[in-house]
Structure 1
Amino acid sequence: MYEDISRKCDILNVVCTKSKLWMHTVYPHLQDGPTCGLAIICMWGDSFMEHSLTLENLLKTSQANCFTKQGEMFSVANMKALCEQVMGSDHVKIEHRTKGFDVDKNFIINEIKTGAIVFVPYDSDYNHDPCLKKGLKAHWALIFGLLEDDHDEVYLLARQGKSNHIGVWKYSELSESNANLKQIDPKRCNNDYVIPAGGIEVGLCNQYLLLKQVK
């Protein structure tokens, strides 16, 4: 993983030194259809639980709870409820934060440095990096670490369900992307997906989950 991160940093012209790198080992898990949120739950399970979680079982559980129809997860609150159900309180403490990455920056950085994982919705660009599409490309990522360059710029280490490759994203860019989730893609018919009352601005915007293993 360090070699993969180092190669990405070389492409971005970011200096990556182990003394300024904090991360967990998190294995990729590709999504099937619109199951990006479920895929990152599987990543967590593959990396931290004795028994792996499967997309098939997660889909059935989330459908049974009326959280989703096809695997889409447009509510951070529903993601938290699903995680608590399948992970159990014996494995992880989950906190639903609603003030956004900008307000919570110091808190998030300190929590990641002390072992936290973050589940965050954002807009995904063609290369899966954060972008600003007003929520039309809403997607889920798992943040498993961070690095600081020589100029104290913070980069977050990310996995998401459409690629096996690691993302190295500027903190500010993910923060802005998370804060711009306002509109549902008009191609996503309400009859085909579970969309919270008030839309994705209520369900996703400026929200994320912070997960810490229970010791």
Structure 2
Amino acid sequence: MDKEKIRDLVKEIVKDMLQKAKQVPIAASNRHIHLSPEHVERLFGRGYQLTKLKVLSQPNQFAAKETVTLIGPRGKIPNVRVIGPARGNTQVEVSLFDGFTLGVKPPIRNSGDLKGSESITIQGPRGQITIKEGLICAARHIHMHTSDGEAFGVADGDVVQVKVDGPRGTIFSNVLIRVSPKYKLEMHIDLDEANAANIKNGYLGEIIAVESRNQVSGG
């Protein structure tokens, strides 16, 4: 058996073990920004294309080499990583502590829920823009492939509780389930949450309860 087949077999075994134990790997997400194609050009130049630096865990997502500076009423945060590829609307994701540094109050929102969110100025090497809304603190959530959703007994839009053991063990409530054939199993929290519970990338959490079901999807 060649190395590639062995890796695939190991991945399937690990996935099966996680599903049976209702465990999910956890990743702490640092501040970052998703840019619309228009804003990529305004910040980096006409016709500019983002350059892939590192492939991320979620399929087709990558950390770009490009970074920007966030400018708020009270302060700045430089070297904020751009996440590619470019997408429909510009979305800036920071922690609540970052909001304090900038002098703004980012609302805790699900990705894409930008209406009425905070304004922020973004500085790139070739230009500067101010968006009226788009700055949020991303709500904790779990990405799941459709096969994971079936195995865990949850559906897209459900909200669950996740238990994490350790010296500063905790239970995260209000964790949104996001299911798609494009996703890979992983829970995302921000650095404030990770530091408070002493969580490192790769730690495992256990889904212990479903708080609410997505009535629209019949989950």
Larger radius of gyration: 2
Q: 1 or 2, which has the higher helix percentage?
A: 1
Q: 1 or 2, which has the higher strand percentage?
A: 2
**What is the TM-score normalised by the length of structure 1?**
0.30
**What is the TM-score normalised by the length of structure 2?**
0.29
